[in-house]
Amino acid sequence: MEQASILVIGGAEDKVNQLEILHTFWKRAGGADARLGIIPSASGEPGLIGGLYQRLFENMGCKSVQVLDVREREQSEAADWLPRLREMTGIFLTGGDQLRLVTLLADSVLLSALQCYREQGTLTLAGTSAGAAAMGYHMIAGGGSGESPHPALVNMAGGLGFLPEVIVDQHFHNRNRVARLLSAVVMHPECLGVGVDEDTCAVFEPSGQLQVVGRGTVMIVDAGEASYFCEPQPYSTMPISAHNLRVHLLRRGDRFDVQRRRVLPPLTSYCPV
């Protein structure tokens, strides 16, 4: 099995044709030996969505696939999560509402068990759409689009903390969310902003590197060397001001060193005309 990674998927990943991103998760979680858990708690139809992903991964040839259908807070507090997850090699968080997901999982026995096996390096984790948004310590819970960046454009909340140094936004260019990610980064400049397009995945490796899989792009917003910030007032609609932000646009095969905040040579030099 390859080293355990965290896959941040921008949503609307291909489920019909090549299944590149889902296949990447399957492979990272052990391939034919993968024992997967699907957590559809973010969805308003968890049974339907959980069953969809279960069939997709079963068709890839996993050793086992279970739907961990947590719909009530009491279920995530069950005492047996640590032994239940011990044999699993991968966990997939589906899309839906990231606030619902965090409400059910935050500070729970289930989340502690996930963090335990993540720290041991035995569990590959993936999240799509809402599941991706919840990966950071600071989470974009909602907001607008198509406006100038300002604090009221983005609603922030606490996430699950698997990627504490990162703020994730998803369906990124597809839903015109550049301004709200910029707003979030100015409010939390210690974090790296990561905007992921649909059918695109940012793979966070244990080495601290990020690489891109899929057909779209990943935008990195880095405020680490910013020379000036306005003082953003919560809920203000006044446009923000920030100088010397660094922005990187990455596509399939491109890599980024999250710890050192620098672009690495891509895995491929292919550049279509």
Q: Is residue 182, in this structure, part of any structural domain at all?
A: yes
Q: Is residue 48, in this structure, part of any structural domain at all?
A: yes
Task: With beta carbons less than 8 A apart as the criterion, state whether 229 and 241 touch.
Answer: yes
Specify the pLDDT at position 93. 98
CATH of the domain at 48: 3.40.50.880
DSSP string for residues in the chain: -PPP-EEEE-S---SSS--HHHHHHHHHTTGGG-EEEEE-TTSSSHHHHHHHHHHHHHHHT-SEEEE----SHHHHT-TTHHHHHTT--EEEE--S-HHHHHHHHTTSHHHHHHHHHHHHT--EEEEETHHHHTTBSEEEEEE--SS---GGGEEEEE---SBTTEEEEESTGGGT-HHHHHHHHHHSTTSEEEEE-TTEEEEE-TTSEEEEEESS-EEEEE-TT-SEE--PPTT--SPP-EES-EEEEE-TT-EEETTTTEEE--S------
Structurally, the chain folds into a number of domains equal to 1
Q: Is residue 268, in this structure, part of any structural domain at all?
A: no
Structure tokens at 204: 């966070």
Structure tokens at 102: 């965090």
Q: Is residue 265, in this structure, part of any structural domain at all?
A: no
Quick: pLDDT tens for 177-229: 999 999 999 999 999 999 999 999 999 999 999 999 999 999 999 999 999 98
Q: Which residues are catalytic?
A: 129, 147, 171
Q: Is residue 254, in this structure, part of any structural domain at all?
A: yes
pLDDT bin (cut points 50, 70, 90) of residue 267 is confident
Specify the pLDDT at position 40. 98
The size of the chain, in residues, is: 273
pLDDT bin (cut points 50, 70, 90) of residue 273 is very low
Looking at the predicted structure, is the pLDDT value of residue 251 above 70? Answer: yes
Which residue range(s) make up the domain with 50?
A: 6-260
In this prediction, what percent of the chain has a pLDDT beyond 90?
Answer: 92
Q: Is residue 77, in this structure, part of any structural domain at all?
A: yes
Q: Is residue 66, in this structure, part of any structural domain at all?
A: yes
Q: Is residue 269, in this structure, part of any structural domain at all?
A: no
